[in-house]
């Protein structure tokens, strides 16, 4: 099935895709609001009793939904220090194999300082060993060597970092190096780091690395001893400061330079809700460890005030008479009668005391519907990560044609895809629908595809027309000329008979006389 201009058709309401886009920009026209105005309960106040923290900037994001549960100056531009290495690790995992051999150049060893794993010039490690050294020991020479290996050149890798950040929606990030050592042009924000961490946590190998408490780098040709490294994230290990060990912590990353201050990324999975905490510039004396106390306060606050649910737990339908966008369906999202369904894989974060009926839902059709991948996810056609357009895949059994976002008091709590499953690959009409759901610009052959009886009718009509035309030509070209010739001959013979008769009669008369 192919989509005209890859646009979602509002055929039932007679609106074009561009009109739909303008309509959805108006929140009130496309919202399915079931908010209870008088529920008899105390209204939830979003930032009520939020903890006071020392960090200049902080954010807590729920990883599966992207919901922001807490923020303090999340877009303030600051120095990330070694939190940079989250991006370095992600790019290495996405572009190389763990079995790759990384050779350490002179630049990698001599042009870095600070945290180090003691790697020598010319030494060779597998990429797997490098990534554990990067994320656990925070080794700067390893970050440099990874950049040269993955990017081909150091500068090319830095460009890859910035391109990836842009593709993830980071709007205030500019990387200048792969390790986070101070550079006045090497800046980011808490919000952008949360987006990078969210993407990284989708990578199984990344999760395994950051959750590892200690690792052994084996002997090499140049080093005849094993290197033992431990994770610096105290909320995971509690090695030096047991009081900061946090229940459910699955990893994170520490970061510090004199100008960046103390930064900390923490990933926690508890009761099915996975939170990403980013605190930046928690300046304090070393013993105070404000980055840990800030993170613990924020995580405790968010876990106590929010809970996560599966969207599949809530039956969602929509009276199509109120919303022309889907008026081709008798009951949108009804499991028994509609080809439009809400993806069952999504989650929603609900504040304590807030029910699903209190949440505002906003429908947004996609400009470019995309085929559903085999793993149930939409083909990535809008982020810029996919080189080819998969929206027209004829093999797809279903298509993502829109999304629903869930908000409360203006805060996004989650979102889910709207899935269209056609009854058959040949048909462009939904069974029982009043109008086509997908509009397609097609040739006559495509329009008639699946209607072979029309070809039989057309063939018979053509044959009848040819027969009639042949009879007319026969009458004009053959029958009429022949008739004229026969008539001419008959007239000619009649004249001869008359002359002969007249001559005979004259001779007979002469004899009689």
d(CA 73, CA 14): 44
**393 burial via Cβ count (<10 Å: 0-12, 13-18, 19+):** middle
- Name the DSSP class of 97: -
Q: How far is CA 171 from CA 44, 158, 166, 253, 338, in A?
A: 30, 16, 7, 22, 39
Confirm whether 310 is a catalytic residue.
no
Confirm whether 85 is a catalytic residue.
yes
Q: Which of 7, 64, 115, 138 is catalytic?
A: 138
Confirm whether 452 is a catalytic residue.
no
3-state secondary structure 206-264: HHHHHCCCEEEECCCCCCCCCEEEECCCHHHHCCCCHHHCCCCEEEEEEEEECCCEEEE
3-state DSSP call for residue 69? strand
Q: Which of 54, 72, 85, 164 is catalytic?
A: 85
- Tell me the residue ranges of DSSP E strands in 108-186: 124-126
d(CA 199, CA 490): 102
d(CA 108, CA 179): 11
> For the chain, percent helix, then strand, then coil, each to nearest 5?
35, 20, 40
d(CA 468, CA 458): 15
At residue 215's C-alpha, the angle toward residues 212 and 218, to 5°, is 150
Residue 123 and residue 222 in contact, taking contact as beta carbons nearer than 8 Å: yes
Q: Which of 7, 57, 64, 82 is catalytic?
A: 82
Residue 30 CA neighbour count, 13 Å, CB half? 20
Could you give the dihedral angle defined by the CA atoms of residues 386, 388, 394 and 398, in that order, rounded to the nearest 10 degrees?
10
The pair of structure tokens assigned to 144 is 């440099």
- Residue 136 dihedral angles phi and psi, to the nearest 5°: -90, -50
Q: Which residues are catalytic?
A: 82, 85, 138
């Amino acid at each position: 099935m192919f989509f005209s201009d890859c646009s979602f058709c509002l055929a039932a309401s007679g609106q074009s895709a561009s009109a739909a886009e303008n309509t959805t920009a108006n929140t009130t026209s496309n919202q399915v609001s079931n908010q209870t105005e008088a529920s008899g309960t105390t209204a939830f106040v979003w930032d009520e009793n939020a903890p006071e923290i020392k960090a200049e900037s902080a954010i807590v994001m729920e990883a599966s939904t992207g919901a922001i549960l807490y923020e303090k100056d999340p877009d303030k531009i600051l120095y990330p220090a070694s939190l940079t290495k989250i991006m370095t690790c992600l790019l290495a995992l996405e572009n190389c194999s763990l079995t790759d051999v990384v050779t350490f150049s002179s630049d990698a060893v001599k042009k870095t300082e600070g945290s180090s794993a003691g790697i020598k010039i010319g030494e060779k490690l597998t990429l797997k060993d490098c990534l554990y050294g990067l994320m656990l020991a925070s080794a700067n020479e390893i970050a440099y060597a990874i950049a040269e290996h993955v990017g081909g050149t150091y500068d090319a890798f830095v460009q890859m970092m910035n391109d990836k950040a842009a593709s993830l929606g980071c709007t205030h990030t500019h990387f200048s190096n792969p390790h986070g050592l101070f550079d006045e042009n090497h800046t980011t924000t808490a919000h952008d780091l949360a987006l990078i961490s969210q993407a990284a946590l989708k990578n199984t190998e990344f999760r395994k690395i950051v959750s590892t408490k200690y690792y052994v780098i084996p002997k090499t040709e140049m080093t005849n001893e094993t290197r033992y490294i431990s994770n610096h994230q105290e909320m995971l290990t509690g090695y030096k400061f047991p009081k900061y060990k946090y229940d459910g912590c699955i990893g994170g990353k520490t970061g510090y330079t004199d100008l960046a201050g103390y930064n900390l990324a923490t990933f926690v999975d508890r009761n099915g809700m996975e939170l990403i905490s980013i605190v930046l510039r928690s300046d304090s004396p070393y013993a105070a460890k404000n980055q840990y106390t800030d993170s613990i306060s924020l995580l405790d606050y968010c876990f106590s005030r929010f809970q996560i649910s599966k969207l599949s737990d809530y039956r969602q339908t929509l009276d199509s008479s109120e919303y022309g966008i889907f008026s081709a369906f008798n009951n949108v999202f009804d499991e028994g009668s509609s080809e439009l369904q809400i993806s069952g894989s999504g989650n929603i974060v609900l504040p304590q005391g807030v029910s699903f009926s209190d949440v505002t839902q906003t429908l947004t059709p996609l400009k470019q519907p995309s085929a559903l991948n085999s793993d149930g996810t939409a083909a990535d056609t809008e982020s810029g990560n996919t080189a080819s357009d998969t929206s027209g895949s004829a093999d797809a059994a279903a298509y993502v044609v829109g999304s629903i976002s869930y908000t409360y008091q203006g805060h996004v709590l989650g979102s889910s895809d709207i899935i269209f499953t056609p009854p058959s690959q040949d048909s462009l009409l939904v069974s029982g629908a009043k109008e086509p759901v997908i509009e397609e610009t097609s040739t006559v052959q495509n329009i008639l595809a699946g209607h072979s009886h029309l070809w039989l009718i057309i063939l018979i009509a053509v044959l009848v027309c040819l027969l009639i035309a042949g009879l007319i030509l026969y009458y004009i070209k053959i029958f009429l000329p022949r008739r004229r010739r026969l008539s001419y001959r008959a007239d000619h013979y009649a004249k001869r008979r008359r002359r002969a008769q007249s001559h005979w009669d004259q001779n007979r008369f002469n004899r009689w006389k």
